[in-house]
Amino acid sequence: MNRTWSKKVLPITLASALAFEVYHGPLRIVFRQRIRQKKNRKSRT
């Protein structure tokens, strides 16, 4: 692993990971809410 390679790749991976979190963060929240609703329905019956 060259230092120049790591310097180039690390920011790219961090940026992609950040973008992934930004894109999938809201989806996760919605998904969790749906799971909670399903659990609530099961517990009510």
Quick one: pLDDT at residue 43? Answer: 65
Number of H helices, E strands in the chain: 1, 0
- Measured CA to CA, the distance from residue 28 to residue 21 in angstroms comes to 10
Q: How many domains does the chain have?
A: 1
Quick one: pLDDT at residue 45? Answer: 60
Q: Which two tokens stand for residue 30?
A: 């919605």
- Measured CA to CA, the distance from residue 30 to residue 39 in angstroms comes to 14
Range of the domain at 41: 1-45
The pLDDT tens digits of the residues spanning 4-45 come to: 767 888 888 889 988 888 888 888 888 888 888 887 776 666
Quick one: pLDDT at residue 24? Answer: 81
- Measured CA to CA, the distance from residue 15 to residue 28 in angstroms comes to 19
